[in-house]
Chain A
Amino acid sequence: MANIDITLNVNGKDHRVAVRSTEMLLEVLRDRLGYVGTNKVCAQGICGACTVIVDGKSTTSCLALAAQFDGARIITVEGLEHDGKLDPLQEAFMKHGAVQCGYCTPGFLMSARAFLNDNPHPTRTEIIDALRGNICRCTGYKKIIDAVEDVAARSAR
């Protein structure tokens, strides 16, 4: 099977990579490019742990064929911080106790970031709806929703 040459811009950095046609974006990010902050869980597009932002849209990278993303701008959890300053969502997750085992955390952060970029002033109900594609088994969601709501409220001021 022929490899397909693509360019992925990950967290502002261009990567040339030859991918197999069957290779998923998650595998390329983790295994080829070393962005292991994005976790693999269900590989069925259900749990949202592998969520990254592709051209502004939250995407479950476990079901996305890498070859489709030539030229795409991708943000992973490693790309949330800038110049040593954390994203307000990262700060809020720490402050509100929204992290326990942490395996779902990168996926939640990326879903929430993509959502808040589109809708900076959501209602709590809208936040819950936006996070419906991410599974957390530890927290019961309350503190995650609280954290996202806190960021939304602060950006509203």
Chain B
Amino acid sequence: MSSIDDGEKFALGTEGEQRPWQDAYRALVQSFEAGSGRRYVGHSVPRNDVLYKVRGKAKYAANIALPDMLHGRFVRSTYPYARIKRVDVSKASALPGVRCVLTAADIPDDRLKVGSLVKDTPILAKDLVRHVGEPVVAIAADTLEIAHAAAALVEIDYEPITPVLTPEEALKEDAPRLHPNGNLIANLSNAVGDVDAALARADVVLEDTYTNEPIEHSYLEPQGGISFIDPDGVLTLLVCTQYPHFHHKQLADVTGLPLEKIRVIQTVIGGAFGGKIDVTIECASCLMTLKTRRPVKMLLENEEVFSATTKRHTMKIRHRLGAMKDGRIVALDMDILADGGAYSSYSLIVAGRCVVHAALPYDIANVRARIRTTFTNNMTAGAMRSFGIVKLAFATESQINKLADELGMSPIEVRRINAVETGTKTVTGQILHAVGFKKTLDAIEPIYEERKKALAAGPKKPGVLRGLGLASLGYGIGYSGVRNPSTARIELTEDGIVIANCGTPDIGPGSDTALAQIVGEEAGVNIGRIRVVSGDSTKTDDSGPTSASRTTYFSGNAAMLAGRDFRRQFSDLLAKKLDVTPENIRIDNDQVIVNNKPMRFEDACATLGSDVKQIMAYGVFNPDSELDFVTFKGNPYPTYTYATQLAEIEVDIDTGKIEVPRFWAAHDAGRIVNPMGAEGQIEGGVVMGLGMALWEKICRSDGYIQNPGMRDYLLPGAKDAPTEITTIFIDNEDETGPFGAKGVAEASLIPVPAAVAAALHDAAGIRLNAMPMEAETVVKKLAARKGNKP
């Protein structure tokens, strides 16, 4: 078994397996090609990894085995906060079959700490543990059973310390300092205009506090990877991650090896949603491989995923909204206290995004936003779909719905009066372009009016209250306020395979397919011959992570530019070979037309022979997105997406159970590259949003997670999803995006909880400010409204 072949990330298999697939996939996509206009962009082409996935052949990390492979396992902290008095691994090390037992003592101090933004997270805990589940010891053994047995033999003496479990406690003067620089991870604020004066003269001031519970991403595939040393001596890590290039650089720091001696390849990934962007097994696995010179495979168990990987932040959002009688919002004041957990992870990014998004998608003259995120001894909070904005939208959109009720206005009209438009200046001073927000309101309005009438006129179900609610969003694409370029490089093989090397990995949504569509469109070749290689630190450039809905826009732009460059280089090269002028060569519909005579693309490649290697097409996209994080002035994102969503719910009066039979989502995501794929993003995001709104919560007690596994964590199933989800992509094109595209993935979830909350108020007259809006709470509120004690 060749290690490199097994390291091949490509979902569709190794080079040898590739050819039959190419033919099958080409046949599959042919039925989706349009006769005219754009051939690929805008068409629902099947995913380019789908054949492997439906056949059970996809190479997820768990499915890869290497000869001589060891199995790794962590021993984790059993306390939320404790001093480590003693770690004794002698019995574990002596167990036959144990090949490596790693503790913090084996790692030099200056290489011990890692992290996505701030290096504050020990690979293995030293002296202190800061949360339950923190790795203290790593073990590699001949079998997983031996690794488990050895883990049970590790002796760790702890001296428990009273944990800090809320941000309020963490901010107290006499609170223990959880990290050397204190307990604040983020303390950011921004103000424009005069909020206090505007609130004082507002006709209506609404004030409330909004909260949420921690959420587990609940990707189905647990974190996992395999590290090994390849025949060239390169430390290679196959891992399911959103950002292989980050691990590449970090592993260089941790191991002291030069970058060229390390390769990180993303395996086919079973979902991520922000949960596979931090360090879990990567460093420990590689260090154990370096010690043993053997492959090491580490896979988390479902319980570890729930108890020891990052969670969605909990936030307490104090919100004040001031408006005039005519519906104009004159002031927004928001103060957020967030629980960042034990280590900093992506807390700073989440905080920055909240401040920048405070008013969006509205044009409000006086805005003040502050967020403080603290360390606690809870499990670390990190990135999760929307980077915090779903909580912001729950607060702001709920406030705006209240305002509409207060003023007796339609919730659509209030939004329309305050909506941002092309040319609006945001709180950071950015002038917005290609804004389709009002069009999303226009799309939802007739449905809203029609359903309102239908519900009023429709037959009443006994014991069931029905209601409608809507909410909106504006969301910035890409990193917040720092440059984050993407590149694409295109090569060609003599037998006509176009290899597009793009850095950002496909983490499930189908971005590799979207990139192939963009390259195919721009280069004029059939996407069945395009092989997208993504997420490989050797074959691709660091193009940032797949996060923040950025891949279609950033890598898509780079792929488009590379496709253009490819077409030019190919024509020039063939012109030279055939001794014609390049202007007389065109590539169209997978044919090469030379002096008006078509030839098959393969034949043109064969004509070029080994000269095809001279083609090295390149595209880079590096938009000017910079923000001063002190003044909060600048252009934090190159573009923004917008949406308005409408929920129709039914509330059971006796049980408080909420069902969501119908849901509409109108999105401005720019030009849609793959409608079927984009719809899938919206539908999945809506159901994930419903989970957060109604059912999901990580239950914590004294720093321990009480429901660490799917059995006790309520994930929405097929019966919980709306029977009808209607996605509407409004007609809008962003000229800065590839073929007018913006981005899709995260926006889908953001308005959901606020829309459901509004529908609950419409149905039952109840306003809930805390997620999840559980049946028990609804029943109690219904009873209280009737004046009965439950």
CB within 8 Å of B: which residues of A?
35-47, 49, 76-78, 80-81, 86, 90, 93-97, 99-106, 109, 124, 128-129, 131-145
Taking the complex as formed, is B364 at the interface, i.e. its CB lies under 8 A from any CB of chain A? Answer: no
Closest B-chain residue to A78, C-beta based? B56
Q: Given A42-B709, A42-B710, are A102 and B49 neighbors across the interface (CB < 8 Å)?
A: yes
A37 — which chain B residues lie within 8 A by C-beta? 55-57, 63
Contact present for A134 and B710 (CB under 8 Å): no
Taking the complex as formed, is B222 at the interface, i.e. its CB lies under 8 A from any CB of chain A? Answer: yes
Contact present for A105 and B710 (CB under 8 Å): no
Contact present for B221 and A103 (CB under 8 Å): yes
Contact present for A100 and B55 (CB under 8 Å): no
A45 — which chain B residues lie within 8 A by C-beta? 711
What are some 22 contacts across the A-B interface (CB < 8 A)? A36-B62, A37-B55, A41-B302, A44-B710, A44-B711, A45-B711, A80-B55, A94-B46, A94-B54, A95-B46, A100-B509, A100-B684, A101-B507, A102-B50, A102-B58, A103-B220, A106-B56, A132-B717, A135-B220, A138-B680, A140-B680, A140-B686
A sample of 12 more A-B contacts (CB under 8 A), given A101-B272, A135-B717, is A39-B60, A78-B55, A86-B54, A90-B54, A97-B679, A102-B508, A103-B220, A124-B723, A128-B718, A138-B680, A140-B680, A140-B684
**B664-688 Cβ-contact flags toward A at 8 Å (1 or 0):** 0000000000001101101111111
A14 to chain B, nearest CB (A): 20
**5 closest Cβ pairs, A-B complex:** A37-B56, A103-B270, A101-B508, A102-B53, A140-B683
B220 — which chain A residues lie within 8 A by C-beta? 39, 41, 47, 49, 101, 103-104, 135-137
CB within 8 Å of A: which residues of B?
28, 44, 46-47, 49-51, 53-58, 60, 62-63, 217-222, 268-273, 301-302, 507-510, 676-677, 679-680, 682-688, 709-711, 715, 717-719, 721, 723, 725
Q: Is the interface of A mostly helix, strand, loop or mixed?
A: loop
Closest A-chain residue to B726, C-beta based? A142
A93 — which chain B residues lie within 8 A by C-beta? 50, 54
- Within the complex, which residue of B47, B56, B715 is in contact with A38, where a contact is CB–CB below 8 Å? B56
A124 — which chain B residues lie within 8 A by C-beta? 723
B695 to chain A, nearest CB (A): 13
Contact present for B710 and A100 (CB under 8 Å): no
Q: Given A41-B222, A99-B50, are A131 and B718 neighbors across the interface (CB < 8 Å)?
A: yes
B40 to chain A, nearest CB (A): 16
Instruction: Report the bound CA distance from A5 to B709 in whole Å.
Output: 33
B44 — which chain A residues lie within 8 A by C-beta? 97
Instruction: Report the bound CA distance from A38 to B53 in whole Å.
Output: 11
Closest A-chain residue to B680, C-beta based? A97
Instruction: Report the bound CA distance from A99 to B509 in whole Å.
Output: 9
A139 — which chain B residues lie within 8 A by C-beta? 680, 683-684
Contact present for B270 and A140 (CB under 8 Å): no
B58 — which chain A residues lie within 8 A by C-beta? 102
Q: Given A46-B711, A109-B54, A135-B710, are A101 and B62 neighbors across the interface (CB < 8 Å)?
A: no
Contact present for B711 and A42 (CB under 8 Å): yes
Q: Given A94-B28, A97-B679, are A135 and B715 neighbors across the interface (CB < 8 Å)?
A: yes
Contact present for B683 and A99 (CB under 8 Å): no
- Within the complex, which residue of B62, B272, B273, B685 is in contact with A39, where a contact is CB–CB below 8 Å? B62
Contact present for A42 and B302 (CB under 8 Å): yes
Instruction: Report the bound CA distance from A109 to B50 in whole Å.
Output: 13
Contact present for A142 and B271 (CB under 8 Å): no
B62 — which chain A residues lie within 8 A by C-beta? 36, 39-40
Closest A-chain residue to B221, C-beta based? A103
Contact present for B719 and A128 (CB under 8 Å): yes
Contact present for A36 and B63 (CB under 8 Å): yes
A116 to chain B, nearest CB (A): 15
Contact present for B302 and A77 (CB under 8 Å): no
B50 — which chain A residues lie within 8 A by C-beta? 93-94, 99, 102
- Within the complex, which residue of A43, A129, A136, A140 is in contact with B685, where a contact is CB–CB below 8 Å? A140
Instruction: Report the bound CA distance from A14 to B47 in whole Å.
Output: 34
A26 to chain B, nearest CB (A): 11
Q: Given A40-B62, A46-B710, are A77 and B56 neighbors across the interface (CB < 8 Å)?
A: yes
Contact present for B221 and A39 (CB under 8 Å): yes
B509 to chain A, nearest CB (A): 6
Q: Given A39-B60, A109-B54, are A137 and B46 neighbors across the interface (CB < 8 Å)?
A: no
